[in-house]
Homo-oligomer: A and B are copies of this chain.
Amino acid sequence: MTSLQDLHSAGTGPVVLSIDAMGGDRGPATVVAGIARSARVNPHLRFLLHGPEDELTRLVSKRKGLAERCEIRHAEGVVSMHDKPSQVMRQGKGTSMWSTLEAVRNGEATVAVSCGNTGALMALSMVRLRKLPGVNRPAIAVLWPSRNPHGFNVMLDVGADIRADAQDLLQYALMGVSYARNGLGLPSPRVGLLNVGTEEHKGRAELKEAFDLIHGQAKSANFEFVGFVEGGDIPGDICDVIVTDGFTGNVALKTGEGTAKLIGDLLREAFAFSPLSRLASVLAFTSLQRLKKRIDPRRVNGGVFLGLNGTVVKSHGAADATGVSAAVKLAFELAQSGFNERLAARVASTLEAQQDAPNTNNTNG
């Protein structure tokens, strides 16, 4: 195996990702299958792979050409889906998850990818990578299939924290804008603030306050603020970035996924119903595959942790090789665009602007 650190520090060409092989529902074989798939289509990818050395060596050696692009870092411990974040923070040293983050912390890799326990991964990321200056609560952002020409909207927070005050929501807006700019290539993203109505707002004082804060930053931070949006706008085309607290965002995300999955299953049933409908499904195969690809949650697999000194991509726990590969692709794109440095700069400059502004209360923590 090659040492990858030299390649990485060269700054051009190869991108090194730090991959947690353990903790997903399907085990390390699926993770290795996923990175092998990505490696085949992208010659610039290199991996630091964390987990039990013997098992990983065996799995990697089965995939042609992978061993040369993959350095295995031995880690005995595994964070399970049932481990409590607080426990993992205290006793997580020696786990593959810890080791994965450590490689980003010490600059060996640009982005970390894990299929493991979300709560534990966020807790460990906060402790080991630490928050960016000016960020009070990091957030998890996802790409959501939408009616927009670029095919996706950014939504955050989908579950890093169940609470968010007005200042947090402003930071989510700024981080979401950075993500949309670097991840979706939108020069001036449109931001919407999720609420139960667009016109009038009863209660939830923090949303009204966040409305004013975000509105006040739109011009200087070069985004458009479309105001309050509703649940139906998350897959819509009136904005590119949807800002909400982690409780609401998490429920919305899982509701959308559940609804899409139900419709998909019912569609399959409908096509299996009669000989005629089975024939129809054959004729429509290509069109349906195109649709499936458009809305397949595995293709947009990967929540991104924003607001830390380093980028972490959280792949779905139940991700298969396609899902892992999609998360790796996302991690590669974010690494290559220098996303985290840009985001840090954006948050810092807005913080300054807020502090300089004569009419704004400085409520930064």
Chain A residues close to B by CB (< 8 Å): 82, 84, 119, 145-147, 159, 162-163, 194, 196-197, 199-200, 202-204, 230-236, 244, 246-248, 250-263, 265-267, 269-271, 273-274, 276-277, 279-284, 286-288, 290-291, 294-295
The chain B residue with its CB closest to the CB of A146 is B262
Q: Which residue of B lies closest to A294 (CB)?
A: B266
Asked if B252 and A231 sit within 8 Å, CB to CB, the answer is yes
Contact A295 B263 (CB under 8 A): yes
Give A138 Cβ to nearest chain B Cβ, in Å. 15
Is A287's CB under 8 angstroms from B291's CB? no
Contacts of A231 in B (CB 8 A): 250-258
Tell me if B262 and A263 are in contact (CB < 8 A): no
Cα distance A269–B159 in the bound complex, in angstroms: 33
Chain B residues, Cβ within 8 Å of A147: 262, 265
Main secondary structure, interface of A, reads: helix
10 pairs from A and B in contact (CB 8 Å cutoff): A82-B199, A147-B262, A162-B202, A232-B254, A234-B259, A235-B258, A235-B262, A247-B248, A255-B256, A280-B283
**In the complex, which residues of chain B have a beta carbon less than 8 angstroms from the beta carbon of A260?**
259, 263
Query: Which B residues touch A286, using CB under 8 A?
Result: 274, 276-277
Q: How many copies does the complex hold?
A: 2
Pick the contact of A252: B163, B200, B251, B280 (CB < 8 A): B251
Nearest neighbor of A234 in chain B, beta-carbon distance: B255
Q: Which of B251, B282, B287, B295 contacts A230 (CB 8 A)?
A: B251
B203 touches A162 (CB 8 A): yes
Across-interface contacts of A287 in B (CB, < 8 A): 270-271, 273-274, 276-277, 280
Question: Are A258 and B283 also in contact (CB < 8 A) when A84-B200, A231-B253 are?
Answer: no
Shortest CB–CB separation between residue A289 and chain B, in angstroms? 9
Residues of B within 8 A of A259 (CB): 234-235, 255-256, 259-260
Determine whether the beta carbon of A291 is less than 8 Å from that of B279. Answer: no
B204, A162: Cβ atoms under 8 Å?
Answer: yes
User: Inside 8 A of A277's CB, which chain B residues have their CB?
Assistant: 283-284, 286-287
Give every chain B residue within 8 A of A280 (Cβ-Cβ). 280-284, 287
- Distance of A153 from chain B, by nearest CB (Å): 11
Whether B199 lies near A262 (C-beta < 8 A) is no
